[in-house]
Amino acid sequence: MAFPGRLSFSRLFPVRRRVASRFAIPAAWRPDVRRLPLRAFLAAAGLLAALAAAAQDASRPSAPQAAAPSRVVTLGGSVTEIVYALGAGGLVVGSDQSSLYPEAVTRLPRVGYYRATPVEGVLALRPDLVLASEQAGPPASIERLRELGTHLVVVPDSPSVDSLRQRIRAVAGALGRGPEGERMLAELDAQLRQAQAQPAPKARALVLMNRTGTPQAAGEGTAADAVLRLAGLENALAGRQQGYKPLTAESLAALAPDIVIVTAASLPATGGVGGVLALPGLAGTPAGRAERIVAMDDLLVLGLGPRLPQALAELKARAAEAMRTPPAGR
């Protein structure tokens, strides 16, 4: 099929001269479109269209990449630990009251407690990135930060190892440190295998924390419960309670824990080890009679963070040592 008289390829599909000259298509290669079959003509048109589009894309400036953050506020102790473990602690300009590790972060400005985030306190630090646990709140404060244009990244923070892995990847991605995040994950998995291979004593444990003046015990669905189970210990509140709640003297006595684990920051508010032993209902339990009170770093027990292998190894060792002390009267 031949094309009539004056029908030209340039009229059907105009291509700028600068594009054609850029690709420098020799005249000998240019087909006489009037003698081309329709199918070949359309194929040639498609090829030149692709070449023209490529030339135009190449001439456009590339989109600017987002600048790396330089002023980071962290909301959530585990989130803060991950930032420092990735080597980005120097970017942190503020954190919340649950961020207790490493020690350097405790010298930075505080913005309150991450579950009661004050919008003004965060904005006062002029962050270009806010990394927040998914448990940070209240929701109205988080939404307000977004409305005001704050670069806010909310990361997974449920009490599981899978969530910890997701958290590490999310924080590393937000900081532009993906390779470092993958190395941290590989080290975490190797260390977890070693910690979980360590033998654990058979014991019923109760985790207590005290932030309000009234000790609260950790039930199911908490990071403390997950740490106990990963360490091979039985949570005395398994099947009885969800979350953190105060215990009555009767319920504490009925739980009959072998060991009581209390967070280090809770000891002063409870009156030290003596104050824990004096809690109503504890004296008649195996833990009370043998004075098996184990104090541990708050974030090791409650955080389910990047130091999880250390938490498991330490908890197993401390529990095994405590269980070697028999209850009084035996």
User: To which H or E segment does residue 129 belong?
Assistant: strand 129-133
- Number of independent structural domains in the chain: 3
Cβ count within 10 A of residue 279: 19
Which contacts qualify for 160-165: CB closer than 8 Å, 24 or more apart?
160/226, 160/304, 161/192, 161/226, 161/230, 161/304, 161/308, 163/304, 164/78, 164/188, 164/304, 164/305, 164/306, 164/308
> Does pLDDT of 324 surpass 90?
yes
In a domain, 1, yes or no: no
In a domain, 123, yes or no: yes
In a domain, 36, yes or no: yes
How far apart are the C-alpha atoms of 220 and 237, rounded to whole Å?
7
Asked whether residue 208 falls in the same domain as residue 311, the answer is yes
- Integer CA distances (angstroms), 44 to 29, 39, 50, 194, 276, in order: 11, 9, 10, 63, 85
Cβ count within 10 A of residue 170: 20
**What does the pLDDT average to over 91-114?**
96
Q: How confident is the model at residue 1 (pLDDT cuts 50, 70, 90)?
A: very low
Q: How do residues 149-172 score in pLDDT, each as one tens digit? A: 999 999 999 999 999 999 999 999
Q: What is the CATH number of the domain that holds 119?
A: 3.40.50.1980
CA 127 to chain CA centroid, Å, is 19
Structure token digits, residue 282 = 């504890």
Asked whether residue 191 falls in the same domain as residue 205, the answer is no
Average pLDDT, the chain: 86
Chain position carrying tokens 């104090």: 295
Domain containing residue 150: 72-195
pTM score, whole prediction: 0.78
